[in-house]
Structure 1
Amino acid sequence: MRWNDFLYFRKEERRGILLLLLLIVCTLIINILLSNKKSSSVIIARTDSLQREFEDFRRSLQTTGGEEYPYNNHQYKKSRDVRHPGLLSDSGKLYANAGKRTYFTPAYHSTVKLAAGETISLNETDTAIWKKVPGIGSAYAARIVKYRRLLGGFYSKKQLQEVYGIDEELYAKILPFVVQDDNFSRLNVNELPFDSLLRHPYIDYKQAKVIIDLRRRKGRVESIEELGLLDEFTAEDLARLKPYLVF
């Protein structure tokens, strides 16, 4: 028997083999078509889902009625004005485009200023109260309170001009709203240690040292006139210090 006898098929067998191959090919084609259809349906489903989320987002932006929206740690309110969409302005306003063009404006809490005739105490320690004075904002209020603490209190309204940034024009503006008082601390020249004397803005290192030396030599300082005999103190220094010193 030759080898090609094994590859010989009768007519009926050849028909069966061809039919089997045809069935296999059809099966493969059907599987490919079903696979493509399933993938397309998944893509369409995902696309529909994203589209619905986007539409929900757009509808939320179209909501009106003065609702508040948190943004960048501030509260923003919708306004009816029409602005360019999708922009954040220099003033902090957020603009959005969603059907109607709307924008958000920040809701700031402004400090109510004093009216003419209203006043505060010169030695007021609350920065919120100082901010009520026309011309005084957060920075100036903080500087005034800090300098007052270092001095132990103001004895004269003119000392406000020593606060950094308060020039003659601003001083003249705030002067009518401030009432002078005697609520300030005195320095006991014969009892305070070196560090406590040096902490006062009107006493420098050499002046504090000479006071301690004078106390060590004499036991105590008798008067401000005695300090005037020292080279470390000028007439201007003594004039500023006089209200604060006790002997």
Structure 2
Amino acid sequence: MRKKDRTSHFRFNKQERSGMFFLLALIVLLQVGYFYLKVYPAQVEQFIVIDTDLQEKMETLKSVKDTLNFYPFNPNFINDYKGYALGMSVDEIDRLHDYRAQGKYGNTTFHFQQVTEIGDSLLNKISPFFKFPEWTKEKATSSPLAKMNKEVASNFNKAIPVGDLNSVSSEELKIVRGIGDKLSVRIIKFQDRLGGFLEEDQLYHVYGLEKEAAGRVLAKFVLLSKPQITKINVNSASSDELA
């Protein structure tokens, strides 16, 4: 009896043998498939057919955002789609909607930025399309705070005379809003490499200097003196001379 029990573990009936055969066959097929994919990946890619029409439609939808034409609008009434088309994030749109749900309105571009926490670059891009009601403009310009800011700005402009862009120092540049230690040094280095600015527009080529900040610099410093330029013959100039 014990001998029979001991040998029964090594005996299989017809059904068990068939199951083992199919299991081994499945393992072999998986190994062959893995080997084929590893050795001939290019041939496998040929079986993948790209739907070019669908791909073109997807690319068109992606480019719709950049081709939309915007007209003047009140930013207080930006909906989800309008905000997405303008390039605003979901959080920025939600902040505006939460603010409007309280029955409040933003009447200036600065106020809109405070509410939405939108970045300066995007704000400068979309703010030209903002159209606030006329009464809000009159209220903003006639308020005591607006008058005080106007007087402070006027006194500030009088206190800082216009200087020469080619002789300005980095410390003088830092009095301009938006110009810090790095940008002031970078402007001076750019000026040295040129040997002096020939045109005011060259200031806009300084790396990292935004147009708005460059405009504020040019409001305080202009070209009062230009460097003496010695022309060279391009056909006979060496690489060092051209550099």
TM-score, length-normalised on structure 1? Answer: 0.33
Structure with higher RCO (Cα < 8 A, 6+ apart): 2
- Which has a greater percent of strand? 1
TM-score, length-normalised on structure 2? Answer: 0.33
